[in-house]
Amino acid sequence: MGAACSSSPFSLSLPNHHSSTLHHPKSLPNFIISPSNLTYYSPFPKSLHKSSMNSPPKCSSSITTNSSTNSLKNPISDPHSIDSELVQKLVHDALVWSSLHGLVVGDRNVERSGLIPGVGMVHAPIALLPNSFPEAQWNQACELAPIFNELVDRVSLDGKFLQDTLSRTKKVDAFTSRLLDVHSRMLQSGKKEDIRLGLHRSDYMLDEKTNLLLQIELNTISCSFSGLSCLVSELHRSLLSHYTKPLGLDSQKVPINASASKFAEVLAKAWAEYSNPSAVVLVVVQPGERNMYDQHWLTATLKEKYPFDFIIYFLFLI
C-alpha cells in the first residue's frame, strides 16, 4: 500500500471511488487551495447547480435531497462574481475544518514532516468548492470498473507477458526494474498464492471536444487517498450547508465517499481468508512520506472497525 499521487487532482477515480468530488477538465473547480497560495481557475461551470446526480450512482451513495434544497435560487455561475470577503470566509472555514478533521499532509518545508507523525502538518491541497460531473459518464466509469479489475487480475497471472512487455521499461526505470526483479524471483521459486486481492484506482477525465470518458491512469500499486478523499466530500458538504444562501449550491448533491471503510473492509476480509493468525497487513512506506496521514486513516479504520487480533506492519523503504 503505497502513496502514489493521482495523475491529476481533477480526476474521477474508480473503483472504490477515491475521488469524492467529481471534476471536469473543461470546467475546473473555481478555487484550488494549496499550502502556499490560493489559485483561481475559470471558467466556472454554469451547470454546476444543475447536477444530474439526483439519484444515487451505482457505485456511490448520495444523501437524499429535500424540498428546501431543491428550491435554491441564483446559484453562482462565475467565480469572479463571488465577493472576495466571502471567498476569504470560505478559505478560512475550509482550513479550520481540514485541521480539525485530519485533512492534512506533511509540510515539505519542515524537515521531519514525512518521518514523525504530528510534526509539520499542513492542509492537503483541495478544491474549495465541488464541481459537477455528468451522471451518464459517471455510470459508465462504474460499469468499466469490474471489467478493468478482471483485466488486471488476468494480466497479473501471466508472468512471462509481464516480464516481456516491461523489459524495455526496466532498462530506464529503476523502480520498475526492482519490482520486476522481485517478480522474477517469485516466478523462479514456483510459489503461487491461491488468495489475492487487488485494490485498483482507475482515473478518468472527460475529453472537451468529444465529451468522451478517457482513462488517464490505471494504478495497481497504490490504494492512496482512500482516507483523504472521504474527508474532501465531507468538507464540501459542510461548506455548502453553511453557505447555502450566498452560493446557491445544494450540499445534499455531494456524493458520500466511503472508500476508506470499504478498503478497510476488503483488507480485513482478505486477511481472514488466509485463516492464519500470523498473517499481517503490510504497509509499504516511501522515504519521507508526506502522505502518511492518508495511510494512517486506513490503518486506523482497520483497527477500529475490525479489532480482532491481527497485525498491521509498516515497512519503511530507505
Residue 90 cell numbers, joined: 470560505
Rounded to an integer, the average pLDDT of 141-162 is 93
- The model's pLDDT over 221-241, given as tens digits with 9 standing for 90+, comes to 777 888 999 999 999 999 999
Which residues neighbour 262 within 8 Å (Cβ) at sequence distance 6 or greater?
Answer: 16, 226
What is d(CA 214, CA 134) in angstroms, rounded to the nearest whole number?
A: 14
What pLDDT, on the 0 to 100 scale, is given for residue 194? 83
What pLDDT, on the 0 to 100 scale, is given for residue 25? 33
pLDDT(186) > 50: yes
What pLDDT, on the 0 to 100 scale, is given for residue 93? 97
- The model's pLDDT over 74-127, given as tens digits with 9 standing for 90+, comes to 666 666 678 889 999 999 999 999 999 999 999 999 989 988 899 999 999 998
What is d(CA 75, CA 256) in angstroms, rounded to the nearest whole number?
A: 22
Rounded to an integer, the average pLDDT of 19-24 is 32
**Between residues 24 and 312, which one has the greater pLDDT?**
312
Rounded to an integer, the average pLDDT of 271-279 is 87
What's this model's pTM, rounded to 2 decimal places?
0.73
Which residue in this structure is represented by grid cell 461551470? 45
Q: What is the three-state SS of 44-75?
A: CCCCHHHCCCCCCCCCCECCCCCHHHHCCCCC
**Between residues 258 and 309, which one has the greater pLDDT?**
258
- The model's pLDDT over 29-71, given as tens digits with 9 standing for 90+, comes to 335 565 544 333 322 333 333 333 333 344 544 444 344 444 4
